[in-house]
Chain A
Amino acid sequence: MRNIQAVMQRELLALFCSPIGYIVIAGFLLITGVSVWWTDTFAPGKPATLREVFFWTPWILTVIVPAISMRMLSEEYRSGTIESLMTAPVSDFQMVLGKYLAALVFYLIMLATTLLYVVLMGVYGNPDWGATAATYLGLVLIGALFSAFSVFASSLTANQVVAWILGWVPLLLFACLAFFVVRQVEGVWRQVFQQVNVIGRFDDFSKGLITTDGITFFVAATALFVFLTVKVVESRRWR
Protein backbone atom coordinates (compact mmCIF):
# COMPACT_ATOMS: atom_id res chain seq x y z
CA MET A 1 0.00 0.00 0.00
CA ARG A 2 2.76 2.40 0.97
CA ASN A 3 4.58 1.44 -2.22
CA ILE A 4 1.57 2.21 -4.40
CA GLN A 5 1.17 5.54 -2.67
CA ALA A 6 4.87 6.39 -3.01
CA VAL A 7 4.85 5.68 -6.74
CA MET A 8 1.62 7.63 -7.18
CA GLN A 9 2.91 10.66 -5.31
CA ARG A 10 6.10 10.71 -7.34
CA GLU A 11 4.16 10.59 -10.60
CA LEU A 12 1.87 13.42 -9.54
CA LEU A 13 4.87 15.48 -8.49
CA ALA A 14 6.45 14.86 -11.90
CA LEU A 15 3.20 15.87 -13.65
CA PHE A 16 2.91 19.09 -11.72
CA CYS A 17 6.62 19.86 -12.19
CA SER A 18 6.48 19.54 -15.94
CA PRO A 19 4.80 21.89 -18.40
CA ILE A 20 2.78 19.02 -19.86
CA GLY A 21 0.49 18.89 -16.82
CA TYR A 22 -0.43 22.55 -17.10
CA ILE A 23 -0.73 22.45 -20.88
CA VAL A 24 -3.17 19.56 -20.62
CA ILE A 25 -5.32 21.26 -17.97
CA ALA A 26 -5.29 24.61 -19.79
CA GLY A 27 -6.15 22.95 -23.10
CA PHE A 28 -9.01 21.03 -21.56
CA LEU A 29 -10.43 24.12 -19.86
CA LEU A 30 -10.13 26.13 -23.05
CA ILE A 31 -11.96 23.55 -25.15
CA THR A 32 -14.78 22.98 -22.66
CA GLY A 33 -15.04 26.75 -22.14
CA VAL A 34 -15.37 27.30 -25.87
CA SER A 35 -18.03 24.64 -26.10
CA VAL A 36 -20.01 26.25 -23.29
CA TRP A 37 -19.98 29.49 -25.25
CA TRP A 38 -20.61 27.74 -28.61
CA THR A 39 -23.63 25.81 -27.39
CA ASP A 40 -25.05 28.86 -25.66
CA THR A 41 -25.76 26.70 -22.63
CA PHE A 42 -26.51 29.50 -20.23
CA ALA A 43 -28.84 31.39 -22.57
CA PRO A 44 -32.09 32.21 -20.81
CA GLY A 45 -34.92 29.87 -21.59
CA LYS A 46 -32.71 26.89 -22.56
CA PRO A 47 -33.08 23.66 -20.63
CA ALA A 48 -30.26 23.70 -18.11
CA THR A 49 -28.19 20.64 -18.89
CA LEU A 50 -24.54 20.01 -19.65
CA ARG A 51 -25.30 17.33 -22.23
CA GLU A 52 -24.38 19.53 -25.17
CA VAL A 53 -21.30 20.94 -23.47
CA PHE A 54 -19.91 17.52 -22.79
CA PHE A 55 -21.09 15.90 -26.02
CA TRP A 56 -17.67 16.31 -27.67
CA THR A 57 -15.67 15.77 -24.48
CA PRO A 58 -14.89 12.05 -25.06
CA TRP A 59 -13.35 13.00 -28.42
CA ILE A 60 -11.15 15.56 -26.72
CA LEU A 61 -10.26 13.10 -23.98
CA THR A 62 -8.95 10.55 -26.52
CA VAL A 63 -6.15 13.02 -27.29
CA ILE A 64 -5.70 14.60 -23.87
CA VAL A 65 -5.69 11.57 -21.55
CA PRO A 66 -2.83 9.79 -23.39
CA ALA A 67 -0.81 13.00 -23.02
CA ILE A 68 -1.16 12.78 -19.23
CA SER A 69 0.33 9.32 -18.95
CA MET A 70 2.48 9.04 -22.09
CA ARG A 71 5.74 9.35 -20.16
CA MET A 72 4.78 7.28 -17.13
CA LEU A 73 6.49 4.08 -18.25
CA SER A 74 8.17 5.07 -21.53
CA GLU A 75 10.33 7.65 -19.79
CA GLU A 76 11.36 5.13 -17.14
CA TYR A 77 12.54 2.84 -19.94
CA ARG A 78 14.28 5.59 -21.87
CA SER A 79 16.16 7.05 -18.91
CA GLY A 80 16.90 3.68 -17.29
CA THR A 81 15.22 4.61 -14.00
CA ILE A 82 13.10 1.50 -14.45
CA GLU A 83 16.18 -0.41 -13.28
CA SER A 84 16.25 1.17 -9.84
CA LEU A 85 12.47 0.95 -9.58
CA MET A 86 12.33 -2.73 -10.52
CA THR A 87 15.14 -3.67 -8.16
CA ALA A 88 13.43 -1.96 -5.21
CA PRO A 89 11.03 -4.07 -3.15
CA VAL A 90 8.02 -3.02 -5.22
CA SER A 91 6.02 -5.54 -7.20
CA ASP A 92 5.33 -4.84 -10.85
CA PHE A 93 1.63 -4.67 -10.00
CA GLN A 94 2.17 -2.07 -7.27
CA MET A 95 4.28 0.01 -9.61
CA VAL A 96 1.72 -0.08 -12.43
CA LEU A 97 -1.19 0.57 -10.07
CA GLY A 98 0.62 3.54 -8.50
CA LYS A 99 1.20 5.05 -11.90
CA TYR A 100 -2.34 4.37 -13.03
CA LEU A 101 -3.80 5.97 -9.91
CA ALA A 102 -1.62 9.04 -10.47
CA ALA A 103 -3.03 9.36 -14.00
CA LEU A 104 -6.54 8.95 -12.66
CA VAL A 105 -6.10 11.47 -9.84
CA PHE A 106 -4.66 13.99 -12.26
CA TYR A 107 -7.62 13.44 -14.58
CA LEU A 108 -10.07 13.91 -11.73
CA ILE A 109 -8.40 17.18 -10.75
CA MET A 110 -8.69 18.30 -14.36
CA LEU A 111 -12.34 17.26 -14.47
CA ALA A 112 -13.04 19.02 -11.18
CA THR A 113 -12.21 22.36 -12.78
CA THR A 114 -15.31 22.00 -14.95
CA LEU A 115 -17.51 21.96 -11.85
CA LEU A 116 -17.34 25.72 -12.27
CA TYR A 117 -19.85 25.38 -15.14
CA VAL A 118 -22.18 23.39 -12.92
CA VAL A 119 -22.04 26.17 -10.34
CA LEU A 120 -22.76 28.78 -13.03
CA MET A 121 -25.61 26.67 -14.30
CA GLY A 122 -27.02 26.43 -10.80
CA VAL A 123 -26.84 30.21 -10.46
CA TYR A 124 -28.40 31.07 -13.84
CA GLY A 125 -30.84 28.25 -14.31
CA ASN A 126 -32.58 25.30 -12.88
CA PRO A 127 -30.36 22.36 -13.81
CA ASP A 128 -31.37 18.73 -13.96
CA TRP A 129 -29.17 17.56 -11.07
CA GLY A 130 -29.74 13.86 -11.72
CA ALA A 131 -28.63 14.05 -15.36
CA THR A 132 -25.65 16.21 -14.37
CA ALA A 133 -24.52 13.69 -11.78
CA ALA A 134 -24.91 10.87 -14.30
CA THR A 135 -22.89 12.84 -16.86
CA TYR A 136 -20.06 13.24 -14.35
CA LEU A 137 -20.20 9.56 -13.48
CA GLY A 138 -19.83 8.84 -17.21
CA LEU A 139 -16.89 11.24 -17.47
CA VAL A 140 -15.17 9.62 -14.49
CA LEU A 141 -15.62 6.16 -15.98
CA ILE A 142 -14.36 7.28 -19.40
CA GLY A 143 -11.34 8.87 -17.74
CA ALA A 144 -10.66 5.70 -15.77
CA LEU A 145 -10.74 3.58 -18.93
CA PHE A 146 -8.77 5.98 -21.13
CA SER A 147 -6.13 6.41 -18.39
CA ALA A 148 -5.70 2.65 -18.11
CA PHE A 149 -5.35 2.35 -21.87
CA SER A 150 -2.85 5.22 -22.00
CA VAL A 151 -0.65 3.74 -19.27
CA PHE A 152 -0.78 0.51 -21.26
CA ALA A 153 0.33 2.36 -24.40
CA SER A 154 3.16 3.93 -22.42
CA SER A 155 4.42 0.50 -21.37
CA LEU A 156 4.84 -0.55 -25.00
CA THR A 157 7.58 1.86 -26.01
CA ALA A 158 10.49 3.88 -24.67
CA ASN A 159 9.44 6.92 -26.68
CA GLN A 160 6.90 9.36 -25.19
CA VAL A 161 5.59 10.61 -28.51
CA VAL A 162 5.09 7.10 -29.81
CA ALA A 163 3.33 6.26 -26.55
CA TRP A 164 1.01 9.21 -27.06
CA ILE A 165 0.16 8.11 -30.61
CA LEU A 166 -0.30 4.49 -29.51
CA GLY A 167 -2.70 5.92 -26.95
CA TRP A 168 -5.00 8.15 -28.95
CA VAL A 169 -5.17 6.39 -32.33
CA PRO A 170 -6.80 3.17 -31.04
CA LEU A 171 -9.00 5.14 -28.65
CA LEU A 172 -10.26 7.28 -31.49
CA LEU A 173 -10.71 4.32 -33.84
CA PHE A 174 -12.44 1.96 -31.49
CA ALA A 175 -14.06 3.93 -28.75
CA CYS A 176 -15.31 6.92 -30.71
CA LEU A 177 -15.68 5.93 -34.35
CA ALA A 178 -17.60 2.88 -33.19
CA PHE A 179 -20.41 5.34 -32.53
CA PHE A 180 -20.77 5.79 -36.32
CA VAL A 181 -19.57 2.42 -37.51
CA VAL A 182 -22.00 0.49 -35.35
CA ARG A 183 -24.88 1.43 -37.67
CA GLN A 184 -23.01 0.44 -40.82
CA VAL A 185 -22.04 -3.11 -39.96
CA GLU A 186 -23.87 -6.34 -39.35
CA GLY A 187 -23.43 -9.55 -37.38
CA VAL A 188 -20.54 -10.14 -35.03
CA TRP A 189 -18.88 -6.82 -35.82
CA ARG A 190 -22.03 -4.99 -34.90
CA GLN A 191 -21.93 -6.66 -31.49
CA VAL A 192 -18.26 -5.82 -31.04
CA PHE A 193 -18.71 -2.18 -31.93
CA GLN A 194 -21.80 -1.99 -29.78
CA GLN A 195 -19.68 -3.13 -26.85
CA VAL A 196 -16.78 -0.72 -27.37
CA ASN A 197 -19.01 2.19 -28.35
CA VAL A 198 -17.76 4.53 -25.61
CA ILE A 199 -19.48 7.59 -27.05
CA GLY A 200 -22.80 5.80 -27.23
CA ARG A 201 -22.41 4.54 -23.69
CA PHE A 202 -21.46 8.01 -22.50
CA ASP A 203 -24.47 9.48 -24.29
CA ASP A 204 -26.68 7.17 -22.24
CA PHE A 205 -25.07 8.49 -19.07
CA SER A 206 -25.55 12.11 -20.07
CA LYS A 207 -29.23 11.41 -20.68
CA GLY A 208 -29.31 10.25 -17.08
CA LEU A 209 -29.45 6.59 -18.05
CA ILE A 210 -27.17 4.63 -15.71
CA THR A 211 -27.10 0.90 -16.44
CA THR A 212 -25.20 -1.89 -14.72
CA ASP A 213 -24.13 -2.99 -18.17
CA GLY A 214 -22.56 0.43 -18.77
CA ILE A 215 -20.71 0.50 -15.46
CA THR A 216 -19.57 -3.11 -15.82
CA PHE A 217 -18.13 -2.39 -19.26
CA PHE A 218 -16.00 0.52 -18.05
CA VAL A 219 -14.81 -1.16 -14.86
CA ALA A 220 -13.97 -4.44 -16.61
CA ALA A 221 -12.17 -2.75 -19.52
CA THR A 222 -10.18 -0.60 -17.10
CA ALA A 223 -9.13 -3.63 -15.05
CA LEU A 224 -8.19 -5.46 -18.27
CA PHE A 225 -5.78 -2.74 -19.40
CA VAL A 226 -4.20 -2.38 -15.96
CA PHE A 227 -3.67 -6.14 -16.00
CA LEU A 228 -2.22 -6.06 -19.53
CA THR A 229 0.17 -3.29 -18.50
CA VAL A 230 1.45 -5.42 -15.62
CA LYS A 231 1.98 -8.28 -18.07
CA VAL A 232 3.90 -6.08 -20.51
CA VAL A 233 6.10 -4.74 -17.71
CA GLU A 234 6.76 -8.29 -16.49
CA SER A 235 7.56 -9.58 -19.96
CA ARG A 236 10.06 -6.78 -20.53
CA ARG A 237 12.25 -8.23 -17.81
CA TRP A 238 12.80 -11.32 -19.91
CA ARG A 239 14.30 -9.45 -22.80
Chain B
Amino acid sequence: MIEVRNLSKYYGNRAAVDDISFDVQAGEIVGFLGPNGAGKTTTLRILTCYMPATSGSAKVAGHDVLTESMQVRSAVGYLPESVPLYHEMRVREYLRFRGKLRGLDRAAREAAIARVTNKCWLRDVIDRPIGQLSKGYRQRVGLADALLHNPKVLVLDEPTVGLDPTQIRETRSLIRALAADHTVILSSHILPEVEATCQRIIIIHNGKLVAQGTPEELRERITGETNLIVEVRGPQAAVADHVRKLGGVTDVQAATHDGWCRLTVAARRDVREDVFQLAVAQQWPLRELRREVASLEDFFVKIVAGARAHDGPAARD
Protein backbone atom coordinates (compact mmCIF):
# COMPACT_ATOMS: atom_id res chain seq x y z
CA MET B 1 0.00 0.00 0.00
CA ILE B 2 2.90 2.31 0.74
CA GLU B 3 6.24 1.90 -1.01
CA VAL B 4 9.12 4.14 -0.08
CA ARG B 5 12.39 3.90 -2.00
CA ASN B 6 15.62 5.73 -1.09
CA LEU B 7 13.70 8.76 0.04
CA SER B 8 15.73 11.83 1.04
CA LYS B 9 14.73 15.33 1.98
CA TYR B 10 17.19 18.16 2.47
CA TYR B 11 16.46 21.49 4.11
CA GLY B 12 19.25 23.57 2.64
CA ASN B 13 22.15 21.15 2.85
CA ARG B 14 20.91 19.53 6.06
CA ALA B 15 19.32 16.12 5.62
CA ALA B 16 16.04 15.73 7.51
CA VAL B 17 15.31 12.37 5.86
CA ASP B 18 18.28 10.43 4.59
CA ASP B 19 17.82 7.53 2.18
CA ILE B 20 14.87 5.76 3.79
CA SER B 21 13.19 2.71 2.23
CA PHE B 22 10.29 0.71 3.62
CA ASP B 23 7.00 -0.91 2.68
CA VAL B 24 3.63 -1.01 4.31
CA GLN B 25 1.19 -3.77 3.33
CA ALA B 26 -2.55 -3.24 3.00
CA GLY B 27 -4.35 -3.54 6.32
CA GLU B 28 -1.21 -3.08 8.38
CA ILE B 29 -0.78 -0.64 11.25
CA VAL B 30 2.75 0.66 11.20
CA GLY B 31 4.31 2.81 13.88
CA PHE B 32 6.89 5.37 12.96
CA LEU B 33 9.10 5.85 15.96
CA GLY B 34 11.93 8.25 16.64
CA PRO B 35 13.11 11.00 18.97
CA ASN B 36 12.37 14.68 18.33
CA GLY B 37 13.74 15.88 15.04
CA ALA B 38 14.18 12.34 13.68
CA GLY B 39 12.37 13.18 10.45
CA LYS B 40 9.00 11.52 11.10
CA THR B 41 6.87 14.51 10.21
CA THR B 42 9.00 15.24 7.17
CA THR B 43 8.54 11.70 5.86
CA LEU B 44 4.79 11.77 6.44
CA ARG B 45 4.55 15.14 4.70
CA ILE B 46 6.22 13.69 1.65
CA LEU B 47 3.84 10.71 1.70
CA THR B 48 0.82 13.03 1.87
CA CYS B 49 2.06 15.23 -1.00
CA TYR B 50 2.56 18.31 1.16
CA MET B 51 6.15 18.64 0.02
CA PRO B 52 8.24 16.90 -2.61
CA ALA B 53 11.24 14.78 -1.67
CA THR B 54 14.73 15.89 -2.68
CA SER B 55 15.42 12.46 -4.13
CA GLY B 56 13.98 8.96 -4.12
CA SER B 57 10.39 7.97 -4.73
CA ALA B 58 7.29 7.03 -2.82
CA LYS B 59 4.08 5.33 -3.88
CA VAL B 60 0.88 5.42 -1.89
CA ALA B 61 -2.08 3.22 -2.86
CA GLY B 62 -0.32 2.44 -6.14
CA HIS B 63 0.21 6.09 -7.15
CA ASP B 64 3.41 8.07 -7.21
CA VAL B 65 3.32 11.02 -4.80
CA LEU B 66 4.97 13.35 -7.27
CA THR B 67 3.36 12.52 -10.59
CA GLU B 68 -0.07 11.31 -9.42
CA SER B 69 -0.50 13.63 -6.51
CA MET B 70 -4.28 14.06 -6.81
CA GLN B 71 -4.95 10.31 -6.74
CA VAL B 72 -2.70 9.94 -3.70
CA ARG B 73 -4.41 12.82 -1.93
CA SER B 74 -7.85 11.31 -2.57
CA ALA B 75 -6.73 7.98 -1.15
CA VAL B 76 -5.15 9.40 1.98
CA GLY B 77 -6.61 10.78 5.20
CA TYR B 78 -4.04 12.88 6.99
CA LEU B 79 -3.91 14.20 10.53
CA PRO B 80 -1.06 16.74 10.61
CA GLU B 81 1.06 17.04 13.74
CA SER B 82 -0.16 20.51 14.70
CA VAL B 83 -3.83 19.70 13.92
CA PRO B 84 -4.43 22.90 11.94
CA LEU B 85 -8.09 23.99 11.90
CA TYR B 86 -10.00 27.16 11.05
CA HIS B 87 -10.87 28.56 14.44
CA GLU B 88 -13.71 30.76 13.21
CA MET B 89 -15.66 27.81 11.80
CA ARG B 90 -18.04 25.55 13.64
CA VAL B 91 -17.18 21.85 13.69
CA ARG B 92 -20.04 20.93 11.37
CA GLU B 93 -19.20 23.75 8.95
CA TYR B 94 -15.59 22.64 8.89
CA LEU B 95 -16.46 19.01 8.19
CA ARG B 96 -18.87 20.11 5.45
CA PHE B 97 -16.13 22.19 3.85
CA ARG B 98 -13.69 19.28 4.01
CA GLY B 99 -16.35 16.95 2.63
CA LYS B 100 -16.81 19.24 -0.36
CA LEU B 101 -13.08 19.30 -1.00
CA ARG B 102 -13.15 15.52 -0.86
CA GLY B 103 -15.74 15.49 -3.62
CA LEU B 104 -18.62 14.11 -1.54
CA ASP B 105 -22.07 15.21 -2.65
CA ARG B 106 -24.54 16.58 -0.14
CA ALA B 107 -26.10 13.27 0.92
CA ALA B 108 -22.79 11.44 1.15
CA ARG B 109 -21.35 14.38 3.06
CA GLU B 110 -24.05 14.44 5.70
CA ALA B 111 -23.84 10.67 6.10
CA ALA B 112 -20.06 10.86 6.44
CA ILE B 113 -20.32 13.64 9.02
CA ALA B 114 -22.79 11.60 11.05
CA ARG B 115 -20.46 8.59 10.88
CA VAL B 116 -17.29 10.41 12.00
CA THR B 117 -19.20 12.37 14.64
CA ASN B 118 -20.07 9.04 16.22
CA LYS B 119 -16.67 7.50 15.78
CA CYS B 120 -14.72 10.43 17.17
CA TRP B 121 -17.12 11.31 20.01
CA LEU B 122 -17.91 14.75 18.67
CA ARG B 123 -21.64 14.86 19.19
CA ASP B 124 -21.50 17.35 22.08
CA VAL B 125 -19.38 19.87 20.22
CA ILE B 126 -20.58 19.53 16.63
CA ASP B 127 -22.18 23.00 16.59
CA ARG B 128 -19.50 24.85 18.54
CA PRO B 129 -16.83 27.09 17.03
CA ILE B 130 -13.54 25.21 16.75
CA GLY B 131 -11.69 28.09 18.43
CA GLN B 132 -13.55 27.36 21.67
CA LEU B 133 -12.70 23.66 21.80
CA SER B 134 -10.07 22.15 24.08
CA LYS B 135 -6.93 20.64 22.59
CA GLY B 136 -8.28 17.10 22.91
CA TYR B 137 -11.50 17.93 21.09
CA ARG B 138 -9.57 19.67 18.31
CA GLN B 139 -7.50 16.52 17.98
CA ARG B 140 -10.72 14.56 17.53
CA VAL B 141 -11.98 17.02 14.91
CA GLY B 142 -8.71 16.51 13.04
CA LEU B 143 -9.12 12.76 13.24
CA ALA B 144 -12.75 13.03 12.09
CA ASP B 145 -11.57 15.06 9.11
CA ALA B 146 -9.00 12.40 8.25
CA LEU B 147 -11.69 9.68 8.36
CA LEU B 148 -14.36 11.66 6.52
CA HIS B 149 -13.93 10.15 3.07
CA ASN B 150 -13.20 6.65 4.34
CA PRO B 151 -9.65 6.71 2.92
CA LYS B 152 -7.66 3.62 2.04
CA VAL B 153 -4.61 4.96 3.82
CA LEU B 154 -4.56 6.87 7.09
CA VAL B 155 -1.53 8.95 7.97
CA LEU B 156 -1.61 10.11 11.57
CA ASP B 157 1.16 12.29 12.94
CA GLU B 158 1.19 11.82 16.72
CA PRO B 159 -2.54 11.08 16.97
CA THR B 160 -2.80 10.79 20.75
CA VAL B 161 -0.79 13.82 21.84
CA GLY B 162 -2.91 16.02 24.08
CA LEU B 163 -5.61 13.46 24.81
CA ASP B 164 -6.59 12.35 28.30
CA PRO B 165 -5.86 8.73 29.33
CA THR B 166 -9.38 7.50 28.59
CA GLN B 167 -9.29 9.12 25.18
CA ILE B 168 -5.84 7.70 24.47
CA ARG B 169 -7.15 4.21 25.15
CA GLU B 170 -10.26 4.78 23.05
CA THR B 171 -8.27 6.32 20.20
CA ARG B 172 -5.93 3.33 20.22
CA SER B 173 -8.81 0.90 20.00
CA LEU B 174 -10.36 3.06 17.27
CA ILE B 175 -7.13 2.89 15.29
CA ARG B 176 -6.93 -0.87 15.76
CA ALA B 177 -10.54 -1.22 14.63
CA LEU B 178 -9.80 0.90 11.56
CA ALA B 179 -7.08 -1.49 10.47
CA ALA B 180 -9.75 -3.89 9.26
CA ASP B 181 -10.25 -1.88 6.09
CA HIS B 182 -7.63 0.83 6.23
CA THR B 183 -3.87 0.92 6.15
CA VAL B 184 -2.55 3.04 8.96
CA ILE B 185 0.82 4.69 9.43
CA LEU B 186 1.22 6.68 12.62
CA SER B 187 4.14 8.44 14.23
CA SER B 188 5.08 8.78 17.85
CA HIS B 189 8.08 9.15 20.10
CA ILE B 190 6.51 7.13 22.84
CA LEU B 191 7.30 3.46 22.46
CA PRO B 192 4.54 1.88 24.60
CA GLU B 193 2.07 3.80 22.48
CA VAL B 194 3.37 2.25 19.28
CA GLU B 195 3.75 -1.14 20.93
CA ALA B 196 0.09 -1.08 21.97
CA THR B 197 -1.36 -0.21 18.56
CA CYS B 198 1.03 -1.27 15.83
CA GLN B 199 1.84 -4.56 14.19
CA ARG B 200 5.11 -3.25 12.91
CA ILE B 201 7.55 -0.64 14.11
CA ILE B 202 9.93 1.45 12.06
CA ILE B 203 12.54 3.26 14.08
CA ILE B 204 14.26 6.27 12.55
CA HIS B 205 16.88 8.55 13.96
CA ASN B 206 18.55 11.58 12.40
CA GLY B 207 16.67 10.86 9.20
CA LYS B 208 18.01 7.31 8.91
CA LEU B 209 16.09 4.08 9.30
CA VAL B 210 17.82 2.23 12.13
CA ALA B 211 15.54 -0.76 12.74
CA GLN B 212 12.24 -2.22 11.70
CA GLY B 213 10.16 -5.27 12.54
CA THR B 214 7.29 -6.51 14.68
CA PRO B 215 7.53 -5.69 18.39
CA GLU B 216 8.40 -9.40 18.97
CA GLU B 217 11.15 -9.40 16.38
CA LEU B 218 12.69 -6.29 17.82
CA ARG B 219 12.49 -7.73 21.32
CA GLU B 220 14.14 -10.92 20.11
CA ARG B 221 17.14 -8.97 18.93
CA ILE B 222 17.91 -8.08 22.53
CA THR B 223 17.15 -11.31 24.41
CA GLY B 224 20.81 -12.28 24.02
CA GLU B 225 21.61 -9.48 26.38
CA THR B 226 19.29 -10.52 29.19
CA ASN B 227 20.54 -9.70 32.65
CA LEU B 228 20.20 -11.77 35.82
CA ILE B 229 19.44 -10.07 39.12
CA VAL B 230 20.73 -11.95 42.18
CA GLU B 231 20.44 -10.98 45.83
CA VAL B 232 22.29 -13.03 48.45
CA ARG B 233 23.55 -12.36 52.00
CA GLY B 234 27.33 -12.71 51.90
CA PRO B 235 30.61 -10.84 51.58
CA GLN B 236 30.43 -8.82 48.40
CA ALA B 237 33.98 -9.49 47.15
CA ALA B 238 33.71 -13.27 47.61
CA VAL B 239 30.22 -13.47 46.10
CA ALA B 240 31.17 -11.50 43.02
CA ASP B 241 34.34 -13.53 42.63
CA HIS B 242 32.53 -16.89 42.77
CA VAL B 243 29.79 -15.83 40.36
CA ARG B 244 32.33 -14.48 37.90
CA LYS B 245 33.95 -17.92 37.80
CA LEU B 246 30.72 -19.61 36.62
CA GLY B 247 30.87 -20.68 33.00
CA GLY B 248 29.35 -18.23 30.51
CA VAL B 249 29.29 -15.21 32.77
CA THR B 250 30.61 -12.13 31.00
CA ASP B 251 30.07 -9.37 33.51
CA VAL B 252 29.15 -8.99 37.18
CA GLN B 253 28.28 -5.81 38.98
CA ALA B 254 27.81 -5.90 42.71
CA ALA B 255 26.52 -3.56 45.39
CA THR B 256 25.86 -4.22 49.05
CA HIS B 257 22.93 -2.79 50.90
CA ASP B 258 21.95 -3.71 54.51
CA GLY B 259 24.18 -6.79 54.34
CA TRP B 260 22.46 -8.06 51.17
CA CYS B 261 24.66 -8.25 48.15
CA ARG B 262 22.89 -7.39 44.93
CA LEU B 263 24.46 -8.59 41.69
CA THR B 264 23.62 -7.78 38.11
CA VAL B 265 24.98 -10.65 36.04
CA ALA B 266 25.35 -10.68 32.29
CA ALA B 267 25.80 -14.17 30.85
CA ARG B 268 25.78 -15.89 27.51
CA ARG B 269 23.67 -18.77 28.84
CA ASP B 270 21.09 -19.34 31.54
CA VAL B 271 23.11 -19.57 34.80
CA ARG B 272 20.23 -19.44 37.27
CA GLU B 273 20.67 -23.02 38.45
CA ASP B 274 24.43 -22.58 38.93
CA VAL B 275 23.84 -19.49 41.01
CA PHE B 276 21.39 -21.40 43.17
CA GLN B 277 23.82 -24.30 43.66
CA LEU B 278 26.58 -21.86 44.48
CA ALA B 279 24.45 -20.12 47.09
CA VAL B 280 23.56 -23.43 48.66
CA ALA B 281 27.16 -24.65 48.69
CA GLN B 282 28.41 -21.41 50.24
CA GLN B 283 25.44 -21.22 52.62
CA TRP B 284 24.51 -17.72 51.42
CA PRO B 285 20.82 -17.06 51.91
CA LEU B 286 19.27 -16.29 48.52
CA ARG B 287 16.29 -13.93 48.42
CA GLU B 288 16.05 -12.96 44.80
CA LEU B 289 16.94 -14.60 41.51
CA ARG B 290 15.26 -13.36 38.38
CA ARG B 291 15.86 -12.64 34.73
CA GLU B 292 15.46 -9.07 33.69
CA VAL B 293 13.74 -9.14 30.32
CA ALA B 294 14.85 -6.06 28.46
CA SER B 295 11.93 -3.91 27.37
CA LEU B 296 11.53 -2.43 23.94
CA GLU B 297 12.07 0.87 25.66
CA ASP B 298 15.65 -0.16 26.48
CA PHE B 299 16.06 -1.32 22.93
CA PHE B 300 14.88 2.00 21.60
CA VAL B 301 17.18 3.94 23.91
CA LYS B 302 20.09 1.69 22.96
CA ILE B 303 19.44 1.95 19.23
CA VAL B 304 19.19 5.69 19.40
CA ALA B 305 22.32 5.94 21.55
CA GLY B 306 24.12 3.57 19.17
CA ALA B 307 23.06 5.57 16.14
CA ARG B 308 24.23 8.70 17.88
CA ALA B 309 27.68 7.24 18.65
CA HIS B 310 27.86 5.96 15.11
CA ASP B 311 26.89 9.29 13.62
CA GLY B 312 29.22 11.34 15.77
CA PRO B 313 32.45 11.08 13.75
CA ALA B 314 30.62 10.99 10.43
CA ALA B 315 28.89 14.26 11.14
CA ARG B 316 32.22 15.95 11.78
CA ASP B 317 33.85 15.24 8.45
Contacts and interface: CB of A to CB of B under 8 A. Distances in A.
B49 interface: yes
Nearest to A75: B86
B50 A88 contact: no
B82 A80 contact: yes
Contact of B80 (A2, A6, A17, A84): A84
- The size class of the interface chain B forms with chain A is 20 to 34
B88 A17 contact: yes
A75 to B, nearest CB: 9
Interface in A7-38: 7, 9-10, 13-14, 17-18
Interface in A172-216: none
A6 B78 contact: no
Contacts of B48: 87
B19 to A, nearest CB: 20
Given A14-B86, A91-B70, A86 B101 contact: no
B84 interface: yes
Interface string B85-126: 111110001000110111100000000000000000000000
B88 A238 contact: no
Contacts of B80: 80, 83-84, 87
Contacts of B45: 83
Contact of B49 (A2, A79, A87): A87
Nearest to B98: A88
A238 B80 CA distance: 18
A90 B101 contact: yes
Nearest to A82: B84
A87 B88 contact: no
Interface string B140-168: 00000100000000000000000000000
Contacts of A13: 88-89, 93
A2 B86 CA distance: 20
Given A6-B101, A88-B98, A89-B73, A80 B52 contact: no
A9 B74 CA distance: 21
B69 to A, nearest CB: 9
Given A10-B97, A80-B82, A238-B51, A88 B102 contact: yes
A81 interface: yes
A46 interface: no
Interface in A75-113: 79-91
B76 interface: yes
A239 B299 CA distance: 35
Nearest to A18: B88
Contacts of B87: 79
Contacts of B101: 3, 6-7, 85, 88-90
Contact of A2 (B52, B84, B103): B103
Contacts of B89: 10, 13-14
B78 A87 contact: yes
Interface string B13-49: 0000000000000000000000000000000010011
A2 B48 CA distance: 22
A187 B48 CA distance: 52
Interface of A: 2-3, 5-7, 9-10, 13-14, 17-18, 79-91, 237-238
6 contacts: A6-B100, A6-B101, A80-B80, A80-B84, A88-B98, A89-B73
